[in-house]
């Protein structure tokens, strides 16, 4: 009689212990992942604002004025580039939403204003941005839109 039977596989207790350990590791990692994702979206929003500044300069040199909306910087539906669709930015940014942020460009008597706000505050980002033809980037660390009087944003 064989007193030592061979066990094949894992017992239920062993499996439960492994699953519990995996859940603990996931619960530790998820907050870091979400924070990194929001930081990446905010960094991308800052880069998009710099891009808008660059293309506003191109638009001004071509048409003698700043674009009054973000759509004016985007690609034309058909035909060649014009003041209403200059083809200077991609379609996603021209639609006003990219990388979890909503962008607006407004013409002013002095030039233009750019606003960038998370589509869902706290999920896509925790900062709103403001910039204008001075090219200074301002931020606000709440859901309220950033303004010209807000603190200057410094890249992290």
| pLDDT at 156 (0 to 100) | 57
* pLDDT for position 8: 76
Among residues 39, 38, 37, 60, which one has the least CA distance to residue 110? 60
pLDDT at 155 over 90: no
Q: Report yes or no: 101 and 77 within 8 Å, Cβ to Cβ.
A: no
Task: Indicate if the pLDDT at residue 6 is higher than 70.
Answer: no
Per-residue pLDDT tens digits for 115-148 = 999 999 999 999 999 999 999 999 999 999 999 9
Q: What tens digit of pLDDT does each residue of 67-107 get?
A: 999 999 999 988 888 999 999 999 999 999 999 999 999 99
Q: What is the pLDDT of residue 37?
A: 92
- Tell whether pTM > 0.85: no
Q: Which residue has the tokens 């014009």?
A: 82
Taking residue 59's Cβ as centre, other Cβ atoms within 10 Å add up to: 21
Provide the percentage of residues in the chain whose pLDDT is more than 70: 94
Please measure the distance between the N-terminal and C-terminal CA atoms of the chain and give it in whole angstroms: 71
Q: State mean pLDDT over 24-33.
A: 89
Mean pLDDT of the chain: 91
Q: What pLDDT score does 127 carry?
A: 95
């Amino acid at each position: 009689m064989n007193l030592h039977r061979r066990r094949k596989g894992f017992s239920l207790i062993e499996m439960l212990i492994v699953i519990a350990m995996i859940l603990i590791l996931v619960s530790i990692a998820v907050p870091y992942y979400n924070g990194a994702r929001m930081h990446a979206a905010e960094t991308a929003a800052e880069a998009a604002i710099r891009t808008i500044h660059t293309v506003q300069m191109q638009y001004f040199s071509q048409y003698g004025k700043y674009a009054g909306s973000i759509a004016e910087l985007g690609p034309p539906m058909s035909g060649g580039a014009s003041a209403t669709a200059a083809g200077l930015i991609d379609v996603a940014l021209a639609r006003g939403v990219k990388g979890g942020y909503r962008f607006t460009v407004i013409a002013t008597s002095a030039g233009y204003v750019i606003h960038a706000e998370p589509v869902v505050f706290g999920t896509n980002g925790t900062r709103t941005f403001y910039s204008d033809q001075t090219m200074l980037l301002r931020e606000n660390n709440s859901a309220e839109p950033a303004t010209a009087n807000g603190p200057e944003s410094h890249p992290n």
